[in-house]
Structure 1
Amino acid sequence: MAISLSTVLLAVTVPALAYWLYWRWANRRMLRLAAVVPGPPALPVLGNALMFLTNTTEQLQKIAKLFDEYGDYVRFWLGPELAIAVKNPTDIRTLLSSNKLNQKGPLYNLMKPFIGPGILSGGPTWRLHRKIVTPSYNKKSVQQFSKVFNSEAEQLVRVLRNKRSDTYDIYYDVLTCTTQCVCQTLMGLSKEDSMQLPNLTEIVRKTQSMYNLIFKRMTLWWLQIPFIYWLTGHKKQQDHFFRLIDDFTSIILEKRRKALKTEVVDEELRSVVDRLIQSGELNDQEIKHEMFTLFTTSQEAAAKIAAGVMMILAHLPDWQEKVYEEIQEVVGSSPVTESHIKELHYLDMVYKETLRYFSIAAFIQRTVEEEITINDSKITLPVGTSLIIPIHVLHRDPKHWEEPLKAKPERFLPENVKNRDPNAFIPFSLGPMDCLGRVFATAMIKTIVVHVIRSVHLEADGVIDDIPLEVAISVRSANGYQVRSRVRKEQNGVKANGVVHN
């Protein structure tokens, strides 16, 4: 006997409706608290997910428009998942410093196939693992790494001095430099060993593709369905990355484990790999996951920031001149030291403006583990809420930044800083889960920039506020970091303020 279409629809609709009613009853407090927060109307089942089905540049613009329309607190639904985005600087500090939000948000779960649960992605072990490796990132250790930073920066300068006068993307040359710095410090390898790592070039070149893949799954909900992920070929791409990462980390782990049997390494020079091995707290797979986490977040992010600093200097010749003169006065032709870095105030302003303009992370996400109130107790975030801190939007909020789409290092002059809410600038996040490598990255990036700017003069076409951006975990220039470089003049062996054509 044939079953009628109406019978089939009834059989599907009734259970779906029953489940929907049950879900609303079970989450009645969440729904009541969420209703207090302004936000766009949501569709049944899908919520507001369709809003974000666009390219990454437009996603940044759409998120900014939500805040323009609804204010500093915006509620939206990604399917049944409640997300509340907060842009108020005072509440951001309160939230990120709270022990009620010491768990990463669900989007970080999509990173775990690549890097496992741990320091970056969260999970039960993040605090222990972070404690083990933290000494390699403190000031004493970073001072010991200075010799490597200077040596690799000198190698980068040799490459740039041989460039023709054509425009090129400086990012890839800088990336080679930061990769070698990280291999010879945090990974604990010698120069020779790091140069001989198999697949290193492929891993470095394809890291951005890996980030793009992860970000696609974060923003395109259907790619979180395993069959569709496989059908579209993304699973095959992911498996290729897995093999590269496993081979790469296995070789480093083997080298360091073998070396530790005979080497005695000073405490300040111990690599994160050595610390993870000698702690006895992690198995090999956990070590490899954390190793790759710390490798890629150090060399790739630092290269973007350093390339961003150089591109901004190329677009702002007056600021490049200030930085150059300051370098000549403070550092001269000597290797860069920690004391030099502290005195390079103009460079620091350009560095901070780069961190504002190209946010290391477009946003961060936390899961609310206990209810917490914000906005002078007007809003309560319910348990299970995905808290979004939109760093990129915060760093371009006209309430805190005049002409936010322009690159203006003078924003960080002392007289301008004191008139701005300090929590409106959080490039390295805040609280117990903040960026582990801020001291390491700052020293490495500034050392590289000093060597480059005192040796070559940078130029660029167009204006900095016309540069399109894209986001794939971090924010980057969509068209790369395009500059031209010319070798600076030398007079009697002393670099002078001028350039000569190659």
Structure 2
Amino acid sequence: MLGLSTWQVLLCAAIAAVVAYCTTVTSTILEYAWWWRDRVRARRRLVRLAARMPGPPAWPLLGNALVFMASPQDQLNIITGFFEKYGPYVRFWLGPDLNICIKDPADIRMLLTSNKINQKGPLYEFMKQFIGPGILTGGPTWRNHRKIATPSYNKKCVVRFAKVFNREAQVLAEALLKKDPGRTFDVYHDVVACTTQCVCQTLMGLSKEDSTNVKRMEELVYKTQTIYSFIFTKMTHWWLQIPLIFSLTGRKKIGDEYLRLLDDFSSDVVAKRRRAMKESPVVDEETLGVVDRFLLSGEMSDREVKWETFTLFTTSQEASAKIAAGVLLILAHLPEWQDKVHDEILELLGPVDCDVTEEELKKLHCLDMVYKETLRYLSIAAFIQRTVEEEVTVKNGELTLPSGASVIIPIHMLHRDPHYWRDPYKVDPARFLPETVRERDPNAFVPFSLGAMDCLGRVYATSLIKTLVVRVLRKVQLEADGNIEDLDLNVAISVKFADGYNLRARPRV
């Protein structure tokens, strides 16, 4: 080797190795230094931009966290007070995390449709323990998983699902006819049984027989609200986010049991579909449920399939049940609107109780107004949180939302803002009359969110709920006592009546 001795070759090799090692270490140190420098610069800019926004004074390190050590309802009142004092743009700190609440309709539309905030906020991390990253919680897989599932929610599929919707709605109507006319009961329990069967036989792809024999499904449906409350409590009580305290309070044990319940249910649904597809290969892809699409895609792990199966099951059957029960309760409390909707059904669909189609549902404008008022009064999501990935301006360029901040869209408050809604705390379907809608900012009503991360099931849920109401009203007269506005609301992940959906049912004469 050019006359070099063995020891000289070894020395050169050693020197080269040391130089390479030093170069690697130096490069790593420089990369870390640059990363840290960029992080410090970004943090300084976040703090500087936050200082230009209206909001309450914050303590060092804690921010405004102490203010939010209250019940969820009190937390809502605190934010309402912030809006009253500072206007429709409010910033507050939860420890080192910057949160920006925005209630301006135009900016809400702009932000929800922007590709600069297409990631869910940190609050959704609390849901990932149960359903992982995906369609509802965001993360690297949500877009692809949503693309796989979307065809099962489109109009063509929903039209095909109408047969199941009608059949199960008829079962619900018959169940209500058997109630004691003088007894008040919570109609949600009957409605959720109906929507559960509809979702199982459509989106889950199960047969009628299989859908009545899913492992632990009845227990899961019964405990769903409790699981939501469990998640929301951890979201809103920072001390429970400390692992030791979470464990010592016994909540970890409870959470682990919920996880087993969810896994038992979703595993059984997936196993049933695997077995069914093996026995009878898919012929018509247009009628596939979401579970079949996940399995056939070949792009998802078994764990991801189970996570998304539970996610789409519960967001479809539970949310639809709350809104459908809300429509029935509003009709029970507003007999004049119940008569309007019933008369409209008879006039436009005829007196014969038969299956209602998607095209027929579109004709029922009074029903549509009651449905929309229910969505306004009982928001499917009380708020939406997004993470700012790239700086974006609001308020006509006056304010800049810094990268790394969380944006909160308070839908429940937007739907009650007196700037856009006359008598916002009153239940009044007439606010959705065409002439009234034309006078209102269209962005003040966003029940299904907007943009790439909007509600996947909006078409599905609308068809299911309206079909259910039509078939019930043909046979059942609904009644309730008192004023609906006097009923307490529970505002958490979603909005619902705190003490249930209590009414009476009697055969329609």
TM-score (normalizing by structure 1): 0.91
Q: 1:497 is matched with which residue? A: none
Structure 2 residue aligned with 1:162, among 171, 178, 187?
178
Distance in 2 between residues matched to 1:475 and 1:220, nearest whole Å: 19
Paired AA for residue 50 in structure 1: L
1:338 paired to 2:344: no
Q: Distance in 1 between matches of 2:336 and 2:183?
A: 22
Amino acid at match of 1:119: I
| Secondary structure of 1:326 counterpart | helix
Which amino acid is 1:318 matched to? E
Structure 1 portions without partners, runs of 5+ = 1-22, 490-502
Letter in 2 for 1:61: N
Q: Deviation string for 1:426-457 (max 9, x for gaps)?
A: 00000000000000000000001111112111
CA deviations over 1:73-123 (Å, ceiling 9, x no partner)? 010111110000100000011111111001100000110011110000000
Please show how residues 426-465 of structure 1 align to structure 2 within 5 Å.
Answer: 426-465=446-485
Note the alpha carbon deviations across 1:260-296, whole angstroms, 9 max, x for none.
Answer: 1232342221010000000000010000000000000
Contact kept? 2:478, 2:504, Cα under 8 Å: yes
Q: Is contact 2:72-2:236 (8 Å) kept?
A: no
The C-alpha deviation readout for 1:350-400, integer Å capped at 9, x for no partner, is: 000000000000000000000000001110000100000000000000000
Is 1:367 matched up with 2:387? yes
Q: 2:288 matched to 1:270? A: yes
1:258 aligns with 2:275: yes
User: Counterparts of 1:251 and 1:26 in 2: how far apart (Å)?
Assistant: 47
For the pair 1:351 / 2:374, whether they are aligned, the reply is: no
- How big is the shift at 1:328? 1.3
Give the counterpart letter for 2:178 in structure 1: N
Give the partner amino acid of 1:404: P
How far apart in 2 are the matches of 1:441 and 1:250?
A: 25
CA distance in 1, matches of 2:58, 2:483: 39
2:161 maps to which of 145, 168, 184: 145
AA of the residue aligned to 2:291: V
Aligned match for 2:142, one of 112, 126, 136: 126
Residue of structure 1 aligned with 2:228, choices 193, 206, 211:
211
CA distance in structure 2 between the aligned counterparts of 1:362 and 1:60, rounded to whole angstroms: 10
1:26 Cα deviation (Å)? 6.7
Which of 46, 56, 64 matches 1:30?
A: 46
Pairing of 1:94-493 with structure 2 (within 5 A): 94-164=110-180, 165-263=182-280, 264-332=282-350, 333-489=353-509
User: What amino acid does structure 2 have at the position aligned with 1:221?
Assistant: W
Amino acid at match of 1:27: R
Contact 1:57 1:469 in 2 (8 A): no
The secondary structure found in structure 2 opposite 1:260 is helix
Bigger drift between 159-168 and 131-140 goes to 159-168
Structure 1, 322-331 or 340-349: larger mean CA deviation = 322-331
Q: Please tell me the residue identity of whatever aligns with 1:208.
A: Q
Deviations 1:217-273 (A, max 9, x none): 111111111111111111111111110111111111111111112323422210100
Asked if 1:84 corresponds to 2:104, the answer is no
Structure 1 runs of 4+ aligned residues shifted over 6 Å read: 23-26
1:136–1:269 Cα contact (<8 Å) kept: yes
Compare CA radii of gyration and give the structure with the larger one: 2
Tell me how large the CA RMSD over aligned residues is.
Answer: 1.4
Match of 1:54, SS state, is coil
Residue 437 of structure 1 aligns with an amino acid whose one-letter code is: G
Q: CA-to-partner distance for each residue in 1:124-153, whole Å, 9 max, x for gaps?
A: 010000000100000000000001101111
Distance 1:76 1:37 in 2: 9
Moved more, 385-394 or 470-479: 470-479
Distance 2:263 2:382 in 1: 28
Deviations 1:2-32 (A, max 9, x none): xxxxxxxxxxxxxxxxxxxxx9987221111
The separation in 2 between residues aligned to 1:475 and 1:173, in whole angstroms, is 19
Alpha-carbon distance in structure 1 between the residues aligned to 2:508 and 2:69: 47
Whether the 8 Å contact between 1:144 and 1:268 is mirrored in structure 2 is no
Amino acid at match of 1:341: L
Separation of aligned partners in 1, 2:337 and 2:239: 46
Structure 2 CA distance for aligned equivalents of residues 386 and 124 of structure 1: 18
Q: Secondary structure at the match of 1:366?
A: strand
Deviations along 1:440-499, whole A, 9 cap, x unmatched? 00000000111111211111111122121112311111111111111111xxxxxxxxxx
Task: Look up the SS of the partner of 2:342 in the other structure.
Answer: helix
Unaligned runs of 5+ in 2: 1-38
AA at the equivalent of 2:313: F
Distance 1:102 1:92 in 2: 13
What is the identity, as a one-letter code, of the residue corresponding to 2:316? S
Letter matched to residue 141 of structure 1? C
When residues 56 and 452 of structure 1 are mapped into structure 2, their CA distance, relative to the original with a 3 A threshold, is: farther
Using the alignment, how far apart are the partners of 2:406 and 2:420 within structure 1? 25
CA 1:446–1:472 in 2, change beyond 3 Å: closer, same or farther? same
Match of 1:72 in 2: 88
Distance of 1:437 and 1:300 partners within structure 2: 12
Amino-acid identity (%): 63
In the alignment, is the contact (CA less than 8 A) between 1:56 and 1:470 conserved in 2? Answer: no
